[in-house]
Every structure is written in C-alpha cells, then in structure tokens.
Structure 1
Amino acid sequence: MAIKPPLSDLPIKTADSGFYSGFSVNVAVISKIIISVLAVWCIIWPIKAGAVLGDWNAVILDVFASWYIWVVAAFVITCLILALWPAAGRMKLGADHEVPEFTNFSWFSMMFGAGIGVGMLTWAVAEPVAHFQNNPQVIQGAATGGAEDNILNAYQWSYLHWGFSAWSTYAIAGLALAFFSYRRGLPLTIRSSLTPLFGKALSGPLGNLIDIVAVVATILGVAQTLGFGVEQFVAGLNRIGISGLVMEDGSATTVGIVVALLFIMGASTLSALSGVGKGIKWLSNINMVLSIVLLSFFIIFGATWFGVNAFFVGIWEYLKALPWMSFNVFVSDGTEGSESFLLAQWQGWWPVFYWAWWIAFAPFVGLFLARISRGRTIREFVLGAMIVPALMCFVWFAWAGGTAIDLELNGGADGVIFGAANGDKIFAMTEFMLSPIAEALAWGMAVLIVVLLMTFLVTSADSAVLIVNTINAAGDEGPKARPHILFWGAALALVVGGLLISGGTGAIQTAMVIGALPFSIVMALMCISLLKAVFNDTRRDAAGVTAVTVDTPIGTAPAE
C-alpha cells in the first residue's frame, strides 16, 4: 500500500458573527455551563457539595489510583522513547529550515515560570517538611518521622512529585500540540493531537468533546493552584499586619478569601485584557527577579551545606528509587489503621493528587510550551522540558525546604515552622531567621514574598484565561472579545471561592482529581498518537513522501 501524506486540514466550525464570532460555539457554551453549574452548586449548597465531592473522591482513589500512577509512568517512558529514538529525536517542531524563536535561557525561564510558578512558594518548604515527618518508609517502620535518618527519604518523595514525572506530563501535552500544529499546520488546540487516531472525525462532536474536557481540566487545575495561593496570600497579608483575614487554625476566613480573590482576579483580568505582550510579559519579568532574590536569600543565609547534601545526594536517591516509585501501587486491605490502609491513603494524598494536578494543568502548560518551542527538535524539547525545570525545582526544595528542616533540627525553631499551616511555613521560617536581628527586615521579606506570590497568581490566572479562550476559539491565538475574558476571569474566581467555602483546599483537590480523570484518557491517547505519527513520518521520509506539510517563512535568529 502506498504511503500517503499526513492529514493537514482539520476544519473546526466557528461562528461567523455575533457574540461568539470566531469561537466554536459548542465548545465555548458547554464549557461555560459546566463551570458555572459547579460554581453555583458550591456557593449555594456548600455543605452538600463538600459531602458529595468527598464521596466521589473516595471512589476515585479506590478505583483509579493505579490508573493515575501507571499513566504518568507511561508519559515518562514515551518521552524517553521519543528522545532516544534517533529518527524521532531529529524531527523539528516546524519546517526543517525553522530555528527557535527564543534563546535557551529565555526558553528555560518561561518553561519554569509556566509549569511551576506559585507552587514553589507553598511546597518548596511545606513538602519536604511533610515528608520528613511521614512517608511510606516511616509507615513501614524503616525510618523515624522527624529524625535525621528520614531526611533523604523526604527528598526522594519530594523530587518524585516535582521531578521528571511531572515535567513529562507537560512535555507530552506540549509536544503533541507543537508536533501537529507546527509540522502539520493543524489548529493549535487539543483535538489536533489525536488526528492519527481519529482523523477527520475530530472536526465534529468528538473533537468538541475533547476540547471541552481540556477546558474543564484546565479551569480545575488552575483553580487548585489558585486555591493554595489564596490561602498563602491571606497568610502573608496577616503576617504583614492586615488582621481579621485568618482563623485561629491559620486557614483563611470567608472574608479573607473574598478579599484575596477580588484583588488577584481583578488584576489578572486586567492583565489578560492587555494581552501577552504587555501585562503577562511584565509580570513574568517581575516574577523572575523576585524569585532569584528569594532563592539567593535561602542559599546564602539558610542551611547552605544542608541544601548541598539534599540536592546532590537527594537526586541520587531519587534516581535509584524512581522505577519503583513510578510503578508501585499500594493496595489497602480495607482495615482502617493497618499498614496497607495507611500506605494506600498516603499514596492518594500525595502521588495520586499530584499526578491529577499535573494532568489537569497540562492543557494550559502544554499549549504554552508549544507556543514557545517552535523550531526545536523533539529531542531538544523533551530533554529541555523534562530535565532543566525539574532541576530548578530540586534547587528550591533543597535550600528552602532544607533550611526549614535544619532550623527545626539544629537551629532552635522548636516547632515554629513545623507547626505553621502549609501556606504560612515560608513566612514563619523567614520571620524566625530574621526577627531576632531586624524585625523590619523580617517584615520586608514577608512583603517581598506576598508581592512575588501575587505576581505568580496573577500570571497563572491571566494566562489560563487566554489559553482557555484559545481552545474555545479552535486554536486561534489572536485577540479575543473582552466579554469572554471577563467571563472566564469571574468564573475562575467563583470556582476557587465556591470550592474553598464548601470544603477548603480539600474540596478543590477533590474536584480537580475528578476533572483530570477524563483528560488523563486523552493524554494516554496523545502518547499513542505521537508514537504512531513519528513512526509514519519515518516511513514517509524513507519513501520520499512529504511529512512536513506546514508552510512557513524561513526562521529568524533567536530572540532574547
């Protein structure tokens, strides 16, 4: 059978005029209805919503925990195959003559900011501390929680959740979008990544369903990030002297949640209205400068040598345990309090939650990575997207989290850091480090963290709004009508607020795990689709059949 050129035309019906001009009406309207119903349900019936979400979460953890564990392992394997496969690795995400638009430094910086952002400010301190106190080795009696023999175990699990597995999830989504948009000329939207499997059928209801699933997953994934960020933002405002926003247990009051969301979502909506070239660009630059200042503070004035050990030895322990951690599923015997029950519960709280979070965040980060990676080879993209940002995460965990652990073990913190709420730990740590010397400097550091947190939150929210509108507009990256930007900004705020009120960050976590499940199936199909497309392109190249069907002008020199 003769080898045919690849599919390079996927028409998606969009409105020619009216309120939804330029948008796929089915995708945009149905996505809005689903998110609106969720927000209204959580705000009007918060107790009922919290209970139902909790029941659903229990079922998912019981039935689909192994699916989440194994599907993310499959993402890592797929990335490694594509990077190590010689013919695949040399293929460009674009025409053969194209060169990357951005230098390596700019490319790496943007990848890290898009994929992690605000998460570092909460979890770079909170997660190593949490695993230092409890993890599977502690549950099994192989290590002692809160003791020195458990330090490397804490980093082994922290690095798992923010390392190669996380970034392979983003890499799969970004690679699939870039491959089919920049080599085939297909629309820059989720459905295009499955054309080798479903072909022209993706122009209709099946493609609409895939894009709707991606939009819902994106909103819930970003809601998870904003939920943690709002709690931490309120804790920061409390630390700098704005009272009445937190309860005795350190969690945000309803007033605190509303104030934070009005401020953050108002700023993010204005930024989204200004476009990528203005608001988002400037906020990203501020993020980078403040992040370097804060991280340098921990490296220089924190537990410097502790961090060195946590970074290098921790990475070695992580790499040794990676195959087992990636595939092992803890199965409960059903007896509450038993070792197997506690292990399965811990896995649901940590790896399953994180894998769902990264999957839900993947449409957003993947589409962004695709947009900044045109002209790269597949090998460059995979290795760059998996390794460099992961190493940056490890640096944050080693010196920020390491400083917290060292202060508690050897620095006389005496529970000041460990006893703080997750979002408040970084504030508690910097205050403990500085207040005996200079209270004004401690207050100034808290202000710096609050400003950095705000810019991260605003950047995440406004970027998410623009990405959702791009998917709703069948991949069109051009300017969007203001009412749609305003709707998604308000909807995101209401979803975050409603879920926080109905059950705190746990309710957001549950909704996100549920919402990520359908998109995890889409991503599994992306892996198959990518491997099939690359294999067929190698056959086309061998037969002299055109494999790259996109028609673009010759690339320009890399830009800063």
Structure 2
Amino acid sequence: MPSDTPSAQLQLRTVPAGFYRGFNPAVSITAKALITLLMLLILLAPATATRELQALKDLVLTRFAGWYIYLLAVFVLFNLVVVCLPVSGRLRLGPPGARPEIGTFSWLAMMFCAGIGIGILVFSVSEPVSDFLTNPDTLSGALPAAQAETLPSAMRFVFFHWGLSAWSSYVMVGLALGLACHRNGHPLTMRSGLEPLVGKRLEGRLGDMIDVLAILATVSGIATTIVLGLEHICAGLSELTGAAFFADQAGNPPLVALLTALVLAIAATIASIVSGMERGVKWTSHCGIALAFLVLAVFVIFGGGTQVVRVFVESVLRYVATLPVQMVTIYDPVQDSARHAWQGDWTIFYWAWWVAFAPFVGLFLVRISRGRTVRQFILGAMLGPSLMCFAWFSGTGGSALLMEIDGRAGGSILQAEHAYRIVAAVNVMLGPTGATLMTAVLTLLFLVLIMASSTAAIIAIKSIGSAGSPQGETPLHSMLWAVAIAALTGAIITAGGIGAIRDAMLVMTLPFSVVLAGMFLAVLRQLTRG
C-alpha cells in the first residue's frame, strides 16, 4: 500500500555522467524512439499512415467523445466545490507555513500567458466568426445564422471552449503535482502526481510509461499549435507580399510554404534556446505580451469601441447560464448528426488540445505557485485566466462581429478563409498603411508565440525526462527536442495535410487523459487526508 507520509519519497534513477547526464534514459530515449518510429512510418507509408490515423481519429470521436466531455465536466465541478471547502484554505502547495514566492499580479499574468499560447491569437477572430455562422443553436433552428441576435450565442460557445473547462484540466495537473512535490517532496515530474494512488511502484516501468505518455501528449499538443501558427504566418506573408508562394487562389498555404515557415520558426526557437532558457523565455514572453496588448487595443479602439463591454457582459451571462447543461451535453451521431459533427470538430478537438497542454502548462503552473493555498491556486489558475480569455475574445472576435453587424465589414470577414479572418478584420478597421503595419505586427506575433510555446514545452519535456532534476537543463537536449518536434510536425503535414495534425493529437492525447483521471483521484485522496 502507498505510504501516507512524506517519508515515502520517490527515488528516480538518472544517469550520473555522459550524454544523458541528469536524465532518466528509460523515459528520454523511449519517448524519442517512439516519435522517430512514428515519423518513419508516416514518411515510408504516408497513405497507410494517413488512413490509419483517420480511422483512429474516427474511433476516438465515436467511442471516446463522451469520455472527454464528462472528464472535463467532472474537473470543473470538482474544482468549484473544493474552493468552497475549508480544507482548501488550509492546505498549501508546499510545507505548512510556506508563503507565495511570486506576487499576485505577476503570478496571474504568467499563468495567463502559459496557458493560452498561440491559440488565443489563432482563434481570436476565426472561432467567433465560425460560431456566428454555425453553432448548435443555429443548427437546431433556435437562432438564425449571422444575425445580430446570434452574437451572444456565438460568443458563449467561444467562452465555453476557452473558459473553466480548459483551465480545470491545467488545475488538476497543478494540484496533483503541487501537493505531491511541493508538499511531500517528490520529484517534479508527471508520475509524482499519482503517488497517493500507486506509491513506490512509480519508481519503475509504470512511472516511466506515465512520463513517456506525458511527453507524447505534450509533443502532439505543441505540434498542433505550431501548425496553426504557421498557417497564419503564411496568410500574413501572403497579404504583405502578394506572392503566390505563401497561399494559393483559395487562400490555403501550399505545403512548401508551410515547411519553409516551419524551418524558420524552429530555427528561431533554437536561437532562443541557445541564448539561454531564462533569457529566451523572458524575452519572447515580454515581447508577446506587449504585441498582444497592442492588437487588443487596436481592435477595441478602431473596431467594437464601447460596445465591446456589452458583448462581454451579455456573453458571460449567457455562458454562465448554459454551462451546467452544455458541459455534459453529447449530441447523438444519428439523430443529431449536424451538431454531433460540430461537437467533434470544435469541442472534442479543444478538450483533446487542453489535455495535451495539461502536462507542460500544469507543470509550469505548479513551479510558480509554491506556497499558495489550494483555494488561491484554483481561483487564480481557473477563474482569473478564464475572465482574461473572455475579455480578449470580446475585444477581438466581438469587434469583428460588431463590424459585420453594423455593415462596415460588408461580409468580408465572414467570407474570408480561416487564417485570413483576422487580416480581413484589420483591413476593415484601418486604412491601407495601417492595415499593412498591423498585419506585419500580427505575423511577427505569431512567430514570437510559436517560439514561446515551443520553448516552454521543451522545458517541460526536459523536466519530465530528467525526473525533475536541474542537471537536465542543457541547450543541446533542447535543440534535439526542437528538431524532433519539427520533424514529426513536418512528416504529418506532408503525409496528410494540416487536418492530419489534429487527427494525430486526438489519438496521441487519449492515453494521457487516463493519467489525468488518475491525478483527479490522487488529488481527491490528498484532500481527504487534509
């Protein structure tokens, strides 16, 4: 039976010397071998690999959609209940008497930046527009598509995908690791979150497998993030240069453009890593925050204006009112095929994405939250960033929809391709010179956020591979992981296009979702101990 005391600290093997000094070779080598094997299978048999990937994706959506839906619904409900319990105010992510090491404002800002990455920019205009045109309310006939009264409905589905459900998965990893590592002294690696359930058996192959699954989930999540960013970089360069190299007549980036952008983005990421982990992450994060605030200010000032406040309030109220039902709703694939397909394309994709991000975002959150009470951690890591996301989407996507509703856009944003919607909104708001400058800013921001997200993911992968040991912090291993991630990403989009990267993520994150469920049980046990 697992011990209930901190004396049963996990002892994990790391190599004392050589190339893998400070690393657990069973985890690091196995993860790299699996990624290399997958890449070779895709390159050597692309048609077969794409077909099997599609079949596995269909299986996940058919058999496991409910698993994703209910899992995150349980996380939301659990966290909201826990913050109301007295134990959450007593128990700290650290030893008794520990106090927070980072100020509240910096803590909230760092959590927000870590959890959103490039996705919040990729979907800032695109998702509100998509939901304005088609969402479960319009598909059921309850609301017309693309009308003024549809705006709160569209935004509440955006909030549903970027709100409490997303952040609850990060909180679950953070709580599991915070209680196990900061409070009980276990190594800061993914397996430690399951120690209350499994105990010393995590020192062996079972623990190695859990850490490998966490790395594979992280790689799949960051690969998806990179491809989404590359698509928008190509769109921005196409708009700036007019060159057919970056996009075809339909507005889709050719494979050669995506691969070229991938090489440049990974080269920039490696340059950031070589400059020093702390300096690289700090520079890219600060630059990204400054540019993001500039983008938000432009959208609010030149786009939606004061009406953004109304969009925010109405959409939040609609989101809160519908959340209890929406987060457990599963549309029938036979009787309600249209809404079922929408749910698979959007909600299940997002839930898998959040599960893929949970290992490295949760690990980062627990690193900066030592000394916080459980209540402070849940409120700060779930409610605070959710409200920030709501404000962002109200200012960007909400402004774009307001410009369509009042006639300024004339349908240009609604008719634009996914990656061009944010560019189309900029063209409506600003004159030719201003639009060119803002498109350049957006293109740079996409590159910066790819660098920041990739670097943060690599730091987490190395921490997991080194059993939480600081000896694993070497630039060479970071560069190798950057190349491995780029190679797998390039192989998948070469074989199956942009859509294949989503399929791969849905499949690769499913095993880690089971680990995440185990962490929920581990946290529950820790809290009952008090």
TM exceeding 0.5: yes
Asked whether the 8 Å contact 1:170–1:365 carries over to 2, the reply is yes
Deviations 1:410-450 (A, max 9, x none): 23323321222222211111022213xxx222111111111
Q: Give the TM-score normalised by the residue count of structure 2.
A: 0.96
**Corresponding residue for 2:309?**
308
Q: Which residue of 2 aligns with 1:278?
A: 279
Q: Which residue of 1 aligns with 2:178?
A: 178
Q: Kindly indicate whether the alpha-carbon contact (under 8 Å) linking 1:272 and 1:465 is maintained by their aligned counterparts in 2.
A: no
* 2:452 counterpart letter in structure 1: T
Q: Name the structure 1 match of 2:346.
A: 350
| 1:381-400 superposed Cα distances (whole Å, 9 cap, x missing partner) | 10001111111111111121
User: Offset at 1:380?
Assistant: 0.6
Q: Which residue of 2 aligns with 1:491?
A: 484
- Which ranges in structure 2 are unaligned for 5 or more consecutive residues? none
Is 1:368 equivalent to 2:364 in the alignment?
yes
Residue 423 of structure 2 is matched in structure 1 by 427
Aligned residue runs from structure 1 range 107-146, under 5 A: 107-146=107-146
Deviation at 1:87, TM superposition (A): 1.4
User: How much has 1:96 moved relative to structure 2?
Assistant: 2.5
Cα deviations by residue, 1:451-510 (Å, 9 ceiling, x for unpaired):
111111100011111110110001123453443222210111112222222223321111
Are residues 1:72 and 2:72 paired?
yes
- 1-structure distance, mates of 2:502, 2:48: 16
1:548 paired residue number? none
Q: 1:355, CA displacement in angstroms?
A: 0.5
Q: CA deviation at 1:51?
A: 2.1
CA distance in 1 between counterparts of 2:275 and 2:463 reads 16
Q: How far apart are the structure 2 equivalents of 1:396 and 1:501?
A: 33
Equivalents in 2 of 1:309, 1:117: separation in Å? 26
Assess if the C-alpha contact under 8 Å between 2:27 and 2:211 holds in 1: yes
**Partner amino acid, structure 2, of 1:161:** H
How far the C-alpha of 1:263 sits from its partner, in A, is 1.3
Q: Give, in whole Å, the separation in 2 of the partners of 1:491 and 1:182.
A: 31
Partner Cα separation in structure 2 for residue 235 and residue 111 of structure 1 = 29
In structure 2, what is the equivalent of residue 168 of structure 1? Answer: 168
Q: 2:528 aligns with which of 513, 522, 535?
A: 535
Q: Does 1:402 align with 2:398?
A: yes
Match of 1:504 among 497, 503, 513: 497
Q: Kindly indicate whether the alpha-carbon contact (under 8 Å) linking 1:122 and 1:422 is maintained by their aligned counterparts in 2.
A: no
Task: Tell me, in whole angstroms, the C-alpha distance in 2 between the residues paired with 1:434 and 1:490.
Answer: 39
More off after superposition, 45-54 vs 374-383:
45-54
Structure 1 residue 47, shift from structure 2 partner: 3.2
Distance in 2 (alpha carbons) for counterparts of 1:4 and 1:173: 20
How many Å apart are 1:7 and its aligned residue?
Answer: 4.8
Corresponding letter in the other structure for 1:291:
A
**Structure 1 pair 273/8, CA: closer, same or farther in 2 (3 Å)?**
farther
Determine helix, strand or coil for the equivalent of 2:186: coil
Tell whether the 8 Å contact from 2:352 to 2:506 is kept in structure 1 after alignment: yes
Kindly, what percent of the aligned residue pairs are identical? 38
Unaligned runs of 5+ in 1: 334-338, 539-560
Letter matched to residue 319 of structure 1: V
Deviation at 1:255, TM superposition (A): 1.9
* Alpha-carbon distance between aligned partners in 1 of 2:403 and 2:414, rounded to the nearest angstrom: 10
- In structure 2, what is the Cα distance between the partners aligned to 1:296 and 1:449? 13
The correspondence of residues 253-332 of structure 1 with structure 2, limited to 5 A, is 253-332=254-333
Contact 2:21 2:472 in 1 (8 A): no
Counterpart Cα distance in 2 of 1:428 and 1:37: 41
Most deviating of 290-299 and 476-485: 476-485
Deviation for aligned residue 1:95: 2.1
Q: 1:411 aligns with which of 407, 410, 414?
A: 407
Q: Could you tell which deviates more after superposition, 82-91 or 115-124?
A: 82-91
2:325 alignment partner AA: W
The CA distance in 2 between the partners of 1:459 and 1:217, in whole Å, is 18
* Cα drift, residue 242 of structure 1: 6.1
What CA RMSD, in Å, does the superposition of the two structures yield over aligned residues? Answer: 1.6
- Could you tell me how far 1:8 is from its partner in structure 2? 4.1
Q: How many residues align?
A: 528
Q: Distance in 1 between matches of 2:445 and 2:351?
A: 26
Structure 2 letter corresponding to 1:534: L
Corresponding position of 1:471: 464
Q: Is residue 272–residue 463 contact of structure 1 (8 Å, CA) maintained in 2?
A: no
Within 2, Cα distance between the matches of 1:499 and 1:249?
22
